Amino acid sequence: MPIADAVKKAQESGSWIRKMFEEGAALKKQYGADRVYDFSIGNPDIEPPPAFHRTLVQLATEDAPGSHGYMANVGFTEVREAMAQKASRDHQVQIDGSHVVMCVGAAGGLNVVLKAILNAGDEVVVPTPYFVEYGSYISNHGGKMVLVPSAPDFDLDVGAITAALTEKTAAVIINSPHNPTGRIYPGRTIQALAEALRRHGAQTGRYPYLIADEPYREIVYEHRQVAPVLSAYEESILVTSFSKTLSLPGERIGYIAVGPRLSNKQEMVGALAYATRVLGFVNAPALMQRVVAQLTDAQVDVSIYARRRDAFKEVLDKAGIPYVEPEGAFYLFCQVPARRHGPAVAADSATPIDVQFVNHLKDHLILAVPGTGFGDSGYFRLAYCVDESIIRNSAGAFQKAMESW
């Protein structure tokens, strides 16, 4: 019997990230894991910090009565309070636990927020390149994604975003540090965006929500600061998780925090609780809620990612592949190099150039994700969630690949 048409269609186009992840698994089976250079998926391989292990064992051992039972859909009160303190520090606002809804990772949180705010046909503005799953999250709840190119340096193009706003714009989603470019948007950019949204709101009567998707906030280099969003714009909503900060992506634990000056704050928290319930999350996993509440100051050792980044830059420099300097997150967004050795690519080729190049890399057992998977076909993404030795050992393969491209 049939599956849903939309699901069938979406599966055929598929997620490039997951596709490469699965092809990688097949290649490793064929050639041996140590011969495949898999830079496809952003699956943090650094172990959670020691404090995580201690807290997990402690809470598992205590196993307080009722600790695995239902709580309010928004989460445990003391956990929400801990998250509010963290969000207050990060975003330079004063919020309390009543502003927070615990969620099943940031992906769950984004679905909850979009369910809570979208009417059929509402538009959500997303700057490109972008995490391609946003498209599914938006269409899940009847919304329409409006893609807006970023500036050439991959900062937000506030002018372009402004031009894309309409009376149907329900929200703008930003992601800083950014997947796949590693950019951190400067404070002045966030301010300019806030002003543009305010102007649009004053003109149309509808102030778009600004959704800040921030799972990489703690993964930053050279002690960079990620600009606050909740303090910059009234109608803003933070969605984040501990997947990257604590290397817990499989545990699905994160939180949503609404800005202190959101116009209908209480109604919004009610709607988020409702969406959490009816989408079937019901609540964020109980044990992990209590674990992360004790770990709001902990994080993985980012210097490991920094060393890998630097090693990778060397490899790419040597191979002659240009890339965006990552300020945060753990991705290198690289330009597809000009073709020199292989046959020239016809402009009307059905296969985008980035997909061709990624396929070419795959012939050299290097796995990357084509920029097409992020709405930007001139690029490809390398995730450095792998041991530094794999990065260093890939140098020869990259050079060989370039010699025949």
State the minimum distance, in angstroms, from the CB of residue 394 to its own copies. 21
Counting contacts by CB under 8 A, is residue 313 touching its own copies? no
In the numeric block, the tokens 């796995």 are attached to 367
**Crossing angle for the helix pair 105-117 and 133-140, nearest 10 degrees?**
40
| 53/89 with CB nearer its own copies | 53
State the minimum distance, in angstroms, from the CB of residue 277 to its own copies. 7
| 246/358 with CB nearer its own copies | 246
**Do you find a cis peptide bond into 177, omega within 30 degrees of 0?**
yes
Piece of the chain touching its own copies by CB under 8 A; list 53-61, 180-188, 361-369, 395-403:
53-61
Counting contacts by CB under 8 A, is residue 26 touching its own copies? no
Counting contacts by CB under 8 A, is residue 94 touching its own copies? no
Q: Are 215 and 246 in contact (CB under 8 A)?
A: no
State the minimum distance, in angstroms, from the CB of residue 237 to its own copies. 10
Nearest by Cα to 97 from 77, 113, 112:
77
State the minimum distance, in angstroms, from the CB of residue 50 to its own copies. 10
Would you give the binding string for its own copies spanning residues 150-189, x where CB under 8 A is met? ----------------------------------------
Q: What sign has the CA pseudo-torsion 221, 90, 101, 83?
A: positive
State the minimum distance, in angstroms, from the CB of residue 322 to its own copies. 29
| 66/343 with CB nearer its own copies | 66
**Within 212-251, which residues bind its own copies (CB under 8 A)?**
235, 247-251
Piece of the chain touching its own copies by CB under 8 A; list 3-11, 308-316, 341-349, 388-396:
3-11
Q: Are 190 and 232 in contact (CB under 8 A)?
A: yes
State the minimum distance, in angstroms, from the CB of residue 108 to its own copies. 4
Angle at CA of residue 274, ends 268 and 280, nearest 5°: 140
Nearest by Cα to 272 from 132, 390, 391, 101:
101
- Among 286, 332, 336, 402, interactor with its own copies by CB under 8 A: 286
End-to-end CA distance of the chain: 45
**Within 253-272, which residues bind its own copies (CB under 8 A)?**
262-264, 267-268, 270-271
| Beta-carbon count within 10 A of 343 CB | 6
State the minimum distance, in angstroms, from the CB of residue 71 to its own copies. 6
- Among 29, 31, 35, 60, interactor with its own copies by CB under 8 A: 60
Backbone angles phi, psi at 367, to 5 degrees: -105, 125
State the minimum distance, in angstroms, from the CB of residue 212 to its own copies. 16
The Cα–Cα gap between 303 and 324 comes to: 19
Counting contacts by CB under 8 A, is residue 7 touching its own copies? yes
- Among 19, 28, 43, 378, interactor with its own copies by CB under 8 A: 43
Counting contacts by CB under 8 A, is residue 29 touching its own copies? no
Q: Are 277 and 115 in contact (CB under 8 A)?
A: no
Q: Are 215 and 64 in contact (CB under 8 A)?
A: no
Q: CB-based burial of residue 265 (10 Å sphere; 0-12 exposed, 13-18 middle, 19+ buried)?
A: middle
Nearest by Cα to 84 from 287, 242, 259:
259
Joined tokens for residue 365:
């057992």
Piece of the chain touching its own copies by CB under 8 A; list 78-86, 91-99, 279-287, 297-305:
279-287
State the minimum distance, in angstroms, from the CB of residue 354 to its own copies. 22
| 115/381 with CB nearer its own copies | 115
- Among 74, 87, 117, 361, interactor with its own copies by CB under 8 A: 117
- The conformation of residue 293, written as its DSSP 8-state character, comes to H
Would you give the binding string for its own copies spanning residues 97-116, x where CB under 8 A is met? -------xx-xxxxxx--xx
| Beta-carbon count within 10 A of 338 CB | 8
The Cα–Cα gap between 275 and 209 comes to: 17
